[in-house]
Structure 1
Amino acid sequence: MIRGVRGATTVTKNEAQEIEQATETLVREMVSQNALQPEQIAQVIVTATNDIDATFPAKAVRHLQGWQYVPVMCAQEIPVKGSLPLCIRVMMTVNTSLKQEEIKHVFLEGAIVLRPDLLKK
């Protein structure tokens, strides 16, 4: 079955090292909580708010061990007034036997405020 796994995090500064570290931490947590292997991942879309431009957040994903064949794309979030700043979002499309309600979506740092309803598990 194909499922989507959502995740988001924030950084405190628009600095390449922090952006890459936060993205890697988020993706690793999404994979861990859903017991995924790279070959189960069809694609990863990473977005960032327009105040993040020191590096591509997706760069962190491309360097993970075993992920060289996972398609990854980076894009910019729509700049909605009042939206959460310095935010990185990930949408991972995966092949899994988990039911929709069993998927564990991961929100870290300041991004916890985005979907507290998905964190109740």
Structure 2
Amino acid sequence: MIRGVRGATTVERNEHDEIVEQSYQLLRDVIASNYIKATDVVSVYFTVTEDLNDAFPAKSLRKIDGWTYVPVMCMREIPVPGSLEKCIRVMVTVQTEISQKDIQHIYHNDAKQLRPDLKS
């Protein structure tokens, strides 16, 4: 079965190191919480709000051993008025036997307000 695993985080500043590090922390938790192996991943998509442009969050994926060949892309989030600022979102599409209701979507920092119904 192919499932989507979501996650989001925020940063305080539009700075390369913070964007990459927060993205890395988010990915690490998404991977660990859902027992994801790189060989089972179809693709990874990141979006960032328009106030973030100092780094590609996809660079964080390359810091993880064994993830060199996983396809990854970055895109800009739709600039909806009043939406959460300095936000990085990720969607990992993965082959898994975990049921949809048991997928662990991960939300860090101020992004927790995006899905208060989900615990992370």
Tell me if both proteins adopt one fold, taking TM over 0.5 as the criterion: yes
Scaled to the shorter chain, the TM-score interval is: over 0.9
Superposition pairs for residues 69-88 of structure 1, below 5 Å? 69-88=69-88
SS at match of 2:90: strand
Cα RMSD of the aligned pairs, angstroms, is: 1.0
- Of 70-79 and 57-66, the range deviating more from structure 2: 57-66
Q: How does 1:15-26 map to 2 (within 5 A)?
A: 15-26=15-26
The 8 Å contact of residues 24 and 61 in structure 1, kept in 2 or not, is answered as yes
- Report what 1:37 is aligned to: 37
Structure 2 match to 1:93:
93
1:67-99 per-residue CA deviation (whole Å, 9 max, x = no partner) reads 111000000001111000000000000000000
CA distance in 2, matches of 1:38, 1:82: 35
Query: Counterpart in 2 of 1:102?
Result: 102
Equivalent residue letter for 1:118:
L
- In structure 2, what is the Cα distance between the partners aligned to 1:9 and 1:16? 15
AA aligned opposite 1:116: P
TM-score (norm: length of structure 2): 0.97
Contact 1:43 1:94 (8 Å CA) reproduced: yes
Report how many residues are paired. Answer: 120
1:82 and 1:70 mapped to 2: Cα distance? 33
Tell me the residue number matched to 1:13.
Answer: 13
Give the deviation of 1:24 after TM superposition: 0.3
8 Å contact from structure 1 (residues 62, 72) kept in 2: no
Q: Shift of the alpha carbon at 1:7? A: 0.1
Q: Which whole-Å CA distance do the structure 2 matches of 1:22 and 1:70 have between them?
A: 19
Distance 1:27 1:86 in 2: 17
Q: Is the 8 A contact 1:15 1:54 kept in 2?
A: yes
Q: Which letter does structure 2 place at the counterpart of 1:74?
A: C
